[in-house]
Amino acid sequence: MSRFKSRHLRSLINHHLPLLYLQRVHYQRRIIRTDPFVANYNIMARLIDGKAIAKSIRDQAKLEVQELQARYPGFKPHLAIIQVGAREDSSVYVRQKEKAANEAGINITIQKRDSSITQLELLRAVQEFNNDPSIHGLLVQLPLPDHINEKFITETISPKKDVDGFHAHNIGNLSKRNSSPLFTPCTPKGIIELLNRTGIQISGKRAVVVGRSDIVGFPVFTLLSRADATVTLCHSKTDNLPEITKTADILIVAIGKAEYVKGDWVKPGAVVIDVGTNAVEDQSKKSGMRWVGDVEFSSVSKVASHITPVPGGVGPMTVAMLLYNTVESAKRFWKESRERHITNLPLNLFMPVPSDIDIASSQTPKPIKVLVEELGLAGNEYELYGQYKAKINLNVLDRLKTRKNGKYIVVTGITPTPLGEGKSTTTIGISQALGSQLGKIAFACVRQPSQGPTFGIKGGAAGGGYSQVIPMDEFNLHLTGDIHAVTAANNLLAAAIDARIFHENTQTDKALFNRICPVKKGKRTFAPVMLKRLQKLGINKTNPDDLTSEEITKFVRLNIDPDTITWQRVMDTSDRFLRRITIGQNSTEKNFTRVTGFDISVASECMAILALTTDLRDMRERLGRMVVATSKHGVPITADDLGVGGALTVLLKDAIKPNLMQTLEGTPVFVHAGPFANIAHGNSSILADKIALKLAGIEEGDEETETGFVITEAGFGADIGMEKFFNIKCRMSGLVPDAVVLVATLRALKMHGGGPEVTPGNPLAAEYLEENLELLEKGCANLIKHIQNAKKFMLPVVVAINQFTTDTEAELALVRKIAIEAGADDAVPASHWANGGAGATELAKAIIRATSKPQKDFKFLYELDKSIVEKIEIIAKEMYGGSDISLSDRAKEKVEIYTKQGFANLPICMAKTHLSLSHDPKLKGVPTGFTVTVRDIRASVGAGFLYPLLGEMQTMPGLPTRPCFFDVDLDFESGRVLGLF
């Protein structure tokens, strides 16, 4: 064949491969049968059209993606490529992959980095993609610059995302006969696919692989062996190589040498796969070069039965298999993220039940990293705090935004005794029962306890008995420092208030302006927070030098009226002597003293905001608009007026992330925020509930029976915690609960029936330890009222009877009968305190039944556009059973002020006793005919509610005569906390 004809033939091969693929060429008895077009060039081998086969694979991948997305809208395969430097060949390969991915419906992210990037910087970039759960395939385009270790980089890629198949984990498992890699290298996988789709039988055939690279040679050798071929691996230094290649029924050449294998090296009728791509000089080409393989096509094509052309043979298959691997990886990630297998921890039950701390210490928790992985969380969605705690990043909400929420259950209670009736214990018990006993995904969401009550008289809030959050000591003490962050933020704002008053009282307008807006490098600038204040003042200027003297005065002088300051300092210790203090007594404060006080940290509005915020931006806005005082002209003064809103956000930027822990049985628990249940809404955070609902939820297309549960606790009785949960928390979150669990004890019901006073530290009277149906039936009036209150929101109600060993069957049956007659969907005794999740299994089944029924439309108790007084009246009459309300002169004044300031449309957060349905703690049962007296009304504008005071509310607890801290100590040998509860 002439040189011209040879060049012309190669040109035709490059441009007409799909046509040639359809032209059958047979090798039989050394007689060539082909159509006239091919016969002119004396081609004996059938061309294996990699382009056409690759296209069919890409089309198949595209169809599969479309079908999965039709069923699961959240399914989105995503490939990431890091390209270092600007090598033309690398750029060409990356563009090819980008084009193919786009055509197949695969998202692709290409991160281009300069060739000067350090190895550490590149490793960080790889780790970011490793940790990003939206990325299913990751590759670093090779080659890399000389100063970067390629092997080190490829080994850093997660084996679960190594769609190139180069990681030692995948290569190693490929070489092991009884193991399967997560990914097979793309080129070898493409070679096998070419053989299979061309109808070439591999099993029983003799195969020879020329080339021993980790990318092609060794992997394809293994794949052929796995397909039951007898395989010989050769290389350029193999003795008698032509004799060995002549034995091959299937010859794979990947040696990297142009036209290395000649026709007389090939067995007649062999199948030849040419993997090489080599540039050789060719002056007839514009570029001065052409591409050839490792096989001399002109001679080998006359001997082989099938051959791959170059280009257009193996090359397109490499990209096609990369896409195939990416889709397979996305499917694997999708499946794993929805399976969520939680490993349960067995309980060793003892009778009598040991102390809470002894039970908690006897259980070994799972490493929290195991739990986050069981929940399907990715590396960038959590931060470990020691072995048993983690913070969950808010970006998980974006990843799971297409997922339907799980079932949402709120746990509340009847009016309690001072001992409490076990809402937290029941919350944990239900989650254990649903999770460890019934195999559901179940989250508990509870508040973080303050150290004030922990070391005071109440004890902890981790639950109790065999239904606890563990490690219990870490839960009840510092946890991850969220309360300390709230303390720091609150006190920074308190310091800013008094400092501003001091400086305004001691400086001229000019001096204030020069210090607030100092000249730096010859220029003054406003901080971003200052622009907010200017806007509030109606000053539309951005250059400090443009302000008039009048505008300067308005800007620098807040003119805070000290008598209107509502912001106090806080600390997380019960200390009654800080309730009222005088500050500014040092001589440096120049006699600017004032009376103020301390609250417990969880009473801070910063804590209420932490519980009600929906993201960082929302938290920043809420913190900035907190009203701390009024000016002498009656204007509300906010944190942003003081310029501190941004700093408060920075202090709380980590506290906003919910804390993940576990129960005694290994089921997940979110512990986040702990707003005071009297003056605030007393619920854990919206963010914890939202994240838990997504993690417990299902994707569109999944079976409804796979839906999980989120059990969140509302503080105090249903008249306070539940009412605020619905009218404040649900209103701000947009979440609608599926059911209410109302916790009751026979002890509390007997008290409401007229039983003796229950006092912490004193033994219970005989009436509470013996059967007394008459007292119990009378006290059930309180239970009935709470059931009726819950039903006002159009929700199912399940009564959880927190069972004690002294409760009798007759008493339990009576409560169940009365509860169901009052409208409860069910009433179930539960012994979770003594038996863990197993003791609440029937209760959990009742919750499943209640939430499986068709739901009525949820409704709020009142609309926000009603006046402040109307909203207070509705709560007092509907929830408490009062006949009327009475506002003090101070409260009436506040109504007028808040209405004028534009706060009348905020929801109401009633601050009242939890020990009675009324505002009087002495009135037990279901009091009627009483008038609710409103002593004062205060505003938590940042949190977003007004709180009327119905009595004297102590926001700083005091220590009792015998605090809990007497029993707390440390075992120096084991490091265990002793005597906590």
CA dist., res. 716 & res. 417, Å (int): 10
Contact 891, 948 (CB under 8 A): yes
Q: Would you call 792 a catalytic residue per the annotation?
A: no
Q: What is the number of other CB atoms lying within 10 angstroms of the CB of residue 255?
A: 23
Cβ atoms within 10 Å of 582's Cβ, excluding its own? 10
Backbone φ and ψ for 931, nearest 5 degrees, come out as -105, 125
Residues 6+ apart with CB under 8 A from 770: 806
Dist. CA 95–CA 107, nearest whole Å: 14
pLDDT exceeds cutoff 90 at 1 = no
DSSP string of 535-553, one letter each residue? HHHT-----GGG--HHHHH
The token duo for 908 is: 């109401």
Closest by CA position to 147, among listed 121, 112, 116: 116
Q: Tell me phi and psi for residue 566, to 5 degrees.
A: -105, -10
Q: Is 286 a catalytic residue?
A: no
Q: In what order do the strands lie in the sheet with 78-84?
A: 107-113, 78-84, 137-140
CB 701 within 8 A of CB 71: yes
- Of 173-177, 710-714, 800-804, 909-913, where does mean pLDDT reach its minimum? 173-177
What would the pLDDT profile of 736-748 be if each residue is shown by its tens digit?
Answer: 999 999 999 999 9
Write down the H helix ranges in 132-216. 150-156, 168-175, 186-197
pLDDT at 897: 94
Longest dimension (CA), the chain: 115
Given pLDDT bands bounded at 50, 70 and 90, which one contains residue 211?
very high
Residue 936 burial by CB count (10 A; 0-12/13-18/19+): exposed, middle or buried? Answer: middle
**pLDDT tens-digit profile of 228-251?**
999 999 998 999 999 999 999 999
Q: In 3-state terms, what secondary structure has residue 661? A: strand
Interacting residues of 184 by C-beta distance below 8 A, sequence separation 6+? 165, 170, 174, 219, 223, 321, 325
H/E segment holding residue 241: helix 241-245
Of 164, 274, 689, 826, the active-site residue reads 164
Q: What is the DSSP letter of 573?
A: S
pLDDT given for residue 760 in this prediction: 81
> Alpha-carbon distance 246 to 264, whole Å?
8
Query: How far, CA to CA in Å, does 773 sit from each of 341, 444, 812, 882?
Result: 45, 34, 10, 28
Rounded mean pLDDT, 411-435:
96
Instruction: Tell me how far apart the alpha carbons of residues 354 and 348 are, in angstroms, rounded to a whole number.
Output: 11
| 3-state secondary structure at position 442 | strand
In this structure, what token pair is assigned to residue 46?
């059938």
Residues 506-534 pLDDT 10s: 999 999 999 999 999 999 999 999 999 99
Q: With residue 861 as reference, give the H or E element that holds it.
A: none
Task: Quote the pLDDT of residue 969.
Answer: 82
Q: What are the tens digits of pLDDT across the range 113-164? A: 999 999 999 999 999 999 999 999 999 999 999 999 999 999 999 999 999 9
Alpha carbons 572 and 657: distance in angstroms, whole number: 20
Taking alpha carbons only, the member of 31, 30, 44 closest to residue 271 is 44
Q: Is the pLDDT of residue 12 over 50?
A: no
Q: Which two tokens stand for residue 662?
A: 């576990």
439: left (phi over 0), alpha (psi -120 to 50) or beta: left
pLDDT above 90 for 33 = no
Helix (H) or strand (E) holding 878: helix 868-878
Q: Which of 14, 12, 35 lies closest to 23 in space, CA to CA?
A: 35
3-state secondary structure (DSSP) of residue 963: coil
776-793 residue pLDDT tens: 999 999 999 999 999 999
Q: How confident is the model at residue 701 (pLDDT cuts 50, 70, 90)?
A: confident
Catalytic position from the list 51, 97, 729, 785: 97
Phi-psi group of 947: left, alpha or beta (phi > 0 → left; psi -120 to 50 → alpha; rest → beta): beta
pLDDT tens for 956-969 read 888 877 777 777 88
Give mean pLDDT, residues 93-108. 95
Residue 629 forms beta bridges with which residues? 637
CA distances (Å), 876 to each of 245, 404, 785, 910, 934, in order?
94, 36, 13, 9, 10
The CA distance from 920 to 932, in Å, is: 9
**Mean per-residue pLDDT, 595-613:** 96
> Alpha-carbon distance 465 to 463, whole Å?
7
Q: And the tokens for 16? A: 């007409």
The CA–CA distances, whole Å, from 666 to 200, 620, 865 equal 53, 35, 45
Residue 721 has pLDDT above 50, yes or no: yes
Q: Are 586 and 497 in contact (CB under 8 A)?
A: no
What pLDDT shows up at residue 16? 34
> Which two tokens mark 291?
């591409």
Residue 32 has pLDDT above 80, yes or no: no
Nearest to 628 by CA among 942, 908, 954: 942
Instruction: Give pLDDT, residue 11.
Output: 39
Gap between the Cα atoms of 740 and 891, Å rounded:
33
Stretch 263-283: mean pLDDT: 92
How confident is the model at residue 407, as a pLDDT?
A: 98
- What CA–CA distance (Å, rounded) separates 819 from 780? 8
Residue 9, pLDDT > 80, answer no
Q: What is the pLDDT of residue 35?
A: 34
Backbone phi, then psi, for 38, in 5-degree steps? -80, -35
**pLDDT of amino acid 980:** 74
Q: How far apart are CA 169 and CA 172, in angstroms?
A: 5
Give the Cα separation of 824 and 820 in Å (integer).
5
Closest C-alpha to 727, from 604, 909, 883: 909
Both tokens assigned to 74: 């959240």
- The neighbour count for residue 398, using CB atoms within 10 Å, is 10
| Closest CA relative to residue 560, chosen from 491, 638, 624 | 638
Strand 230-234: give its sheet, edge to edge. Answer: 46-47, 306-307, 271-274, 250-253, 206-210, 230-234
What pLDDT is attached to residue 459? Answer: 58
Token couple for 518: 């100092």
pLDDT bin (cut points 50, 70, 90) of residue 972 is confident
Q: What is the mean pLDDT of the chain?
A: 92
Instruction: Name the pLDDT band for 460 (thresholds 50, 70, 90).
Output: low
Distances (CA, A) of 472 to 460, 683, 944: 9, 20, 32
Q: Give every CB contact of residue 572 below 8 A, 6+ residues apart in sequence.
A: 450, 451, 452, 483, 484, 487, 600, 601, 602
- What are the angstrom distances between the C-alpha of 836 and each of 409, 845, 865? 19, 15, 46
Report the amino acid identity of residue 936.
D
Helix 186-197 vs helix 314-339: angle between axes, to the nearest 10 degrees? 110
State the angle between helix axes of 314-339 and 88-104 in degrees (0 to 180), rounded to the nearest 10: 60
For residue 973, name the pLDDT band (cuts at 50, 70, 90): confident
pLDDT at 354 over 70: yes
Catalytic residue (one of 83, 141, 568, 662): 141
Q: What is the residue-wise DSSP string for 871-919? A: HHHHHHHHTS--SEEEE-HHHHHHHHHHHHTT-TTS-B--B--SSSSSS
Question: Residue 556 CA to chain centroid, in angstroms?
Answer: 42
Q: pLDDT per residue over 531-546, tens digit each?
A: 999 999 999 999 999 9
